Structure 1
Amino acid sequence: MPFSSLPAAVGEALAERGYAAPTDVQAAIIVPETAGRDLLVSAQTGSGKTVAYGLAMVAELLGGEERFGFAREPLALIIAPTRELAMQVQRELAWLYGKAGGRVASCVGGMNVRQEQRALQSGAHIVVGTPGRLRDHLERGSLITSGLKVVVLDEADEMLDLGFREDIEEILDVTPADRRTLLFSATIPKPIANLAKTYQKDALRIATASAGKAHADIEYRAIAVAPADIEHAVVNTLRFYEANGAMVFCATRENVRRLHASLVERGFSAVALSGELSQNERTHALQALRDRRARVCVATDVAARGIDLPDLGLVVHAEIPIDAETLQHRSGRTGRAGRKGICVMIVPYSRRRRAEGMLRSNNVNAQWVEAPTPEDIRAKDQERLLETITPGEAMEEDLVVARQLLERHSAEEIAAALVRSARQRLPEPEDLFTSGADERPAKMEGPRPGFEDTVWFRMNVGRNNGNADARWILPLLCRRGHITKSEIGAIRIGDRETLFQIPRGVADRFNQALKKTASPEDDVAIEAAGDAPPPVQGGRRRPNGPNNGPSNGPPRNKYAPKPYRKTNDRHRRP
């Protein structure tokens, strides 16, 4: 059913909003084959799905008429995971059905419950709300579900992640059995499939984008940095791209608070979103972003769900997402509705392989780039300044001041003052960790002073299996071993392993620190290698020993206990 076959009032509303043709998800949903059927739709955020299910409900809500009648009971119920998403849906449906006389009420936590009760009692054709507040209105008796013809679950995967399954099931259990159920989710994991099987009848499965095409409008980039440089990398990334709107994701509230304070101190116009904020504080923060009074939002995954900000051109993962689905939800904040966006992941050196695996599992081809340097940022600033400052129409009073300036100073001096003024308003870029250590040539003779007696240690990464480089190895060793750069000797990087020297007087302390800082999440394993020589260029080799022969590793002690291997009981042989 193309837009031309819609009721005139709905078609006019779409035309006023500039909808000349449907998006992919809208085109897939409004075809005749979907009429009256339950739908299970996987659609990316920002794909126009709110308007899509708004159009899918036209037949049930208007029943062939051009306008709505009096709303005795709600005809449609939309359940959304967050307040922001519910309010966004309410605004979208309000303009879509406004010319047809449709009334849309919202019921979300943090708002005045009595005002919501009055809105429901005065009549609403469509009710949009969060699970907890809708359940509250059901218990109060202010939400009547007996007349519902359509129920929509928007961002169903997020609702289950947030623990709303019990609320959703209680709401669906009191809706009419002959209702039409539309379930939308960015991903369809097993819990979503089970929910659909329970509450939908012969649902039509619609996938509007394959995994390989997800977020095609987003350019992904990854930056590997030293753990101590993550905050500086975030600062330089924000400065390098200078997007009109940017969202920086952290894993915890404390990290959000700390990074937000650091950005504000550096001169960024930034706001923070986390679970500890009240609804009023969240509203003020979001309004500052929409009004362009703030350009950066630092948020946790949960706090940012359902937020749709205009001109959000940059997403920065200050901490790696916990899984591929979280990466997809975070990144989906940008590149919405056909607009282009950039997504940058800041990756500690020790977790690069985990990040690569997550990107690979999400079918994302990210470009690994170096962190922007102050020189790169200043060059970008110069380009932007030349593009921004263009002559145009000037008021007479401005021309008077300009002539007076030209009488007192040369044009070059005035232009330089303008450039200086523009740069002073920008936060200063940060210098990232630079290796001051000397990666000694293989043929240099004699040890460095202080490294006459050393112990060698081994790392399980090299050129081929970890892109090993002294620039990230040094800060990693300093962090894990609680030592300084000056206490690290020669570094020998092979194809599949790296060896480095530690003075014997420091080795025990270094080894103890490695045990304390070891984490299951670290992909880089470090262990003592004794007095082993550095690896031969191009590969690792050990000298031959008795009963040993050529070997790619140290000789194994046949009397040593075998290492414990975790097994899965289901696959263990009897």
Structure 2
Amino acid sequence: MTFKQLGLAEPILKALEEEGYENPTPIQEQSIPILLKGKDLLGVAQTGTGKTAAFGIPILHHLYNSNNNSNGRRRIRALVVTPTRELAIQIDESFTAYGRHTGLRTTVIYGGVKQTKQVARLKQGVDILVATPGRLLDLVNQGYITFRDLEFVVLDEADQMLDMGFIHDIKKIIAQLPPKRQSLFFSATMPKSIVELSKKILGEFEQVTIKPQQATAEKVEQGVYFVSKGNKVDLLANLIKDRPGESVLVFSRTKHGANKIVKKLDQVDIKSAAIHGNKSQPQREAALGGFKEGRIQVLIATDIAARGIDVDQLSLVVNYDLPNVAETYVHRIGRTGRAHASGIALSFCENEERAYLRDIEKLIKQKIPVMDPHPEVEEEIEDKNAKPPKQQQRGRGGGGGGQRKPQNKKGNNNNRSRAPRRD
């Protein structure tokens, strides 16, 4: 299928062609026809599958075909709520790109910066508003934003909004929405809390689910190193030096850990930057901008801050700390292998993280190849008495503890010491 076969407005097709888009991804191919019919939608898909275009394109199509703001002040007719500043900025850029020939106006608001410029843009009138929950409610309460003209509402990355503690803000927003609207609800995972929240915003809806293990297994080459906690930074430094000039995204479990990694990499002359919730918005934008432009080779991120990072030609994702929630692993490695591209993801596993590794392998239904120890870094020696983390002691899946060599494509055990590379 091509975008032309979806019956989209000509200005949108022109913009998609300019962006180099010809064939929709699975989430887009399944979602866009449903949304063009005006139905509510519950979409379940990991980051990197093309969700923004899946909801952005049909919203632009509807707004363009019913544009009644030409003879008066623009009214906010579409609202997208998303958890992080970076993701909000990315969604705003996507709407602007896909709608460049429609005459529709999009703007973005988020906290961490003064509201003056954002309020000025709102006063000029906008058709589509992308917002983080806190700043949105602030400006609603101040009278700068009204929901009375909304026709389309999107909650994106809903699971992350709950993880970040936005549940009360989201409930306040939902309570103020007009009853007659098209609602779109996107989440990467579907725990019970997300199911309950979706019932509050959606009417009669259809559901599209893109299984995460499909993208993981087919598009991303994976590997795991067993390494002691004290040797992780040496292993990371050597892997980076093995890939001069290539972009590397590293995931840390904590903000403090991210800062510590940056400091240690700086000591061995590797330029890196951290991005997390304690960084100011200018600091986050500078770090992300430097990474996208290639001035910074390595970006260290926490999971929440990483939502919204969209970097072309990302060579490698490294799980410096394995996540304690298996689904998070899928999101992380989805930063490489985006859309139809391939990618490489490597994980560091210390003894106390082996339980997390077993959960991950159970979720993705495959064993992650164990890499031979890097020649310059001591490997992890498994402690047979090591206990799994307390919160992960129940319901364990299969192995992941045995040391083995990853097979190359011909089935030989020749893949030694180095991260897998693209051909």
Normalised to the residue count of structure 1, the TM-score between the two structures is: 0.64
**Cα distance in 2 for residues equivalent to 1:235 and 1:354:** 24
Q: Which residue of 1 aligns with 2:381?
A: 472
**Cα distance in 1 for residues equivalent to 2:70 and 2:338:** 31
Q: Residues 2 and 64 from structure 1, CA distance in 2 versus in 1: closer, same or farther, beyond 3 angstroms?
A: farther
CA-to-aligned-CA distance 1:137-178 (integer Å, 9 cap, x gap): 110110111000000111111111111111111112111101
Pair 1:284 & 2:280 matched: no
Instruction: Count residues in correspondence.
Output: 390
Q: Which residue of 1 aligns with 2:249?
A: 247
Q: Which residue of 2 aligns with 1:232?
A: 234
Deviation at 1:362, TM superposition (A): 3.5
Deviation at 1:236, TM superposition (A): 2.3
Q: Tell me, yes or no, if the aligned pair for 1:7 and 1:66 is still in contact at 8 Å.
A: no
SS of 1:73's equivalent? coil
Q: Residues 358 and 273 from structure 1, CA distance in 2 versus in 1: closer, same or farther, beyond 3 angstroms?
A: same
Pair 1:3 & 2:24 matched: no
Q: Tell me, yes or no, if the aligned pair for 2:38 and 2:182 is still in contact at 8 Å.
A: yes
**Cα distance in 2 for residues equivalent to 1:28 and 1:244:** 34
Aligned with residue 200 of structure 1, among 199, 202, 206: 202
**Cα distance in 2 for residues equivalent to 1:32 and 1:518:** 44
Aligned with residue 351 of structure 2, among 328, 349, 352: 349
Deviation at 1:350, TM superposition (A): 4.7
Aligned with residue 18 of structure 2, among 16, 19, 23: 16
CA-to-aligned-CA distance 1:406-462 (integer Å, 9 cap, x gap): xxxxxxxxxxxxxxxxxxxxxxxxx3237xxxxxxxxxxxxxxxxxxxxxxxxxxxx
Q: Residues 354 and 8 from structure 1, CA distance in 2 versus in 1: closer, same or farther, beyond 3 angstroms?
A: closer
Aligned with residue 378 of structure 2, among 413, 433, 444: 433
Q: Tell me, yes or no, if the aligned pair for 1:73 and 1:147 is still in contact at 8 Å.
A: yes
Aligned with residue 95 of structure 1, among 88, 94, 97: 97
SS of 1:368's equivalent? coil
Unaligned stretches of 5+ residues in structure 1: 374-430, 435-470, 477-496, 499-513, 524-574
Amino acid at match of 2:29: A
Q: Residues 13 and 70 from structure 1, CA distance in 2 versus in 1: closer, same or farther, beyond 3 angstroms?
A: farther
Deviation at 1:134, TM superposition (A): 0.5
Pair 1:161 & 2:70 matched: no
Counterparts in 2 of 1:124-203, with a 5 A limit? 124-203=126-205
**Cα distance in 2 for residues equivalent to 1:65 and 1:254:** 48
Identity among equivalent pairs (%): 32
Deviation at 1:303, TM superposition (A): 2.3
Amino acid at match of 2:374: P
Q: Tell me, yes or no, if the aligned pair for 1:149 and 1:178 is still in contact at 8 Å.
A: yes
Q: Which residue of 2 aligns with 1:546?
A: none
Q: Tell me, yes or no, if the aligned pair for 1:107 and 1:134 is still in contact at 8 Å.
A: yes
Q: Residues 199 and 522 from structure 1, CA distance in 2 versus in 1: closer, same or farther, beyond 3 angstroms?
A: closer
Amino acid at match of 1:95: A
SS of 2:242's equivalent? helix
Q: Residues 132 and 229 from structure 1, CA distance in 2 versus in 1: closer, same or farther, beyond 3 angstroms?
A: same
Deviates more, 1:49-58 or 1:280-289: 49-58
Aligned with residue 322 of structure 1, among 324, 338, 344: 324
Counterparts in 2 of 1:16-35, with a 5 A limit? 16-31=18-33, 35=37
Aligned with residue 75 of structure 2, among 63, 73, 94: 73
Q: Residues 126 and 518 from structure 1, CA distance in 2 versus in 1: closer, same or farther, beyond 3 angstroms?
A: closer
Deviates more, 1:318-327 or 1:59-68: 59-68
Q: Residues 25 and 518 from structure 1, CA distance in 2 versus in 1: closer, same or farther, beyond 3 angstroms?
A: closer
**Cα distance in 2 for residues equivalent to 1:181 and 1:522:** 36
Deviation at 1:522, TM superposition (A): 10
**Cα distance in 2 for residues equivalent to 1:364 and 1:306:** 27
Larger CA Rg, structure 1 vs 2: 1
Q: Tell me, yes or no, if the aligned pair for 2:35 and 2:58 is still in contact at 8 Å.
A: no
CA-to-aligned-CA distance 1:321-351 (integer Å, 9 cap, x gap): 1111221222222211222211111011354
Q: Residues 79 and 522 from structure 1, CA distance in 2 versus in 1: closer, same or farther, beyond 3 angstroms?
A: closer
Amino acid at match of 1:3: F
Q: Which residue of 1 aligns with 2:406?
A: none
Amino acid at match of 1:233: L
Deviation at 1:257, TM superposition (A): 1.6
Q: Tell me, yes or no, if the aligned pair for 1:86 and 1:129 is still in contact at 8 Å.
A: yes
Q: Residues 320 and 69 from structure 1, CA distance in 2 versus in 1: closer, same or farther, beyond 3 angstroms?
A: farther
Q: Which residue of 1 aligns with 2:411?
A: none
CA-to-aligned-CA distance 1:45-81 (integer Å, 9 cap, x gap): 1111111111221453123569966553111000011
SS of 1:297's equivalent? strand
Q: Which residue of 2 aligns with 1:212?
A: 213
Deviation at 1:367, TM superposition (A): 0.9
SS of 1:298's equivalent? strand
Amino acid at match of 1:433: E
**Cα distance in 1 for residues equivalent to 2:157 and 2:213:** 20
SS of 2:126's equivalent? coil
CA-to-aligned-CA distance 1:198-243 (integer Å, 9 cap, x gap): 2210110111x22430333111111112333222222222233447
Deviates more, 1:145-154 or 1:44-53: 44-53
Q: Residues 33 and 16 from structure 1, CA distance in 2 versus in 1: closer, same or farther, beyond 3 angstroms?
A: closer
Deviation at 1:25, TM superposition (A): 1.2
**Cα distance in 2 for residues equivalent to 1:57 and 1:69:** 21
Deviation at 1:356, TM superposition (A): 2.3
**Cα distance in 2 for residues equivalent to 1:15 and 1:433:** 50
CA-to-aligned-CA distance 1:288-346 (integer Å, 9 cap, x gap): 11111111011222222222222222111111211112212222222112222111110
CA-to-aligned-CA distance 1:454-504 (integer Å, 9 cap, x gap): xxxxxxxxxxxxxxxxx715xx5xxxxxxxxxxxxxxxxxxxx79xxxxxx
**Cα distance in 2 for residues equivalent to 1:111 and 1:33:** 34
Q: Residues 520 and 150 from structure 1, CA distance in 2 versus in 1: closer, same or farther, beyond 3 angstroms?
A: closer
Q: Residues 190 and 34 from structure 1, CA distance in 2 versus in 1: closer, same or farther, beyond 3 angstroms?
A: farther
SS of 2:270's equivalent? coil
Counterparts in 2 of 1:479-490, with a 5 A limit? none
Task: Report the aligned-residue RMSD.
Answer: 2.5
Q: Tell me, yes or no, if the aligned pair for 2:80 and 2:156 is still in contact at 8 Å.
A: yes
Normalised to the residue count of structure 2, the TM-score between the two structures is: 0.85
Deviation at 1:278, TM superposition (A): 1.0
**Cα distance in 1 for residues equivalent to 2:81 and 2:325:** 25
CA-to-aligned-CA distance 1:348-383 (integer Å, 9 cap, x gap): 13543441232222435411112322xxxxxxxxxx
**Cα distance in 1 for residues equivalent to 2:2 and 2:41:** 19
**Cα distance in 1 for residues equivalent to 2:307 and 2:35:** 32
Q: Which residue of 2 aligns with 1:45?
A: 47
Deviation at 1:190, TM superposition (A): 1.2
Q: Residues 158 and 351 from structure 1, CA distance in 2 versus in 1: closer, same or farther, beyond 3 angstroms?
A: closer
Amino acid at match of 2:273: V
Deviates more, 1:57-66 or 1:350-359: 57-66
Q: Tell me, yes or no, if the aligned pair for 2:46 and 2:212 is still in contact at 8 Å.
A: no
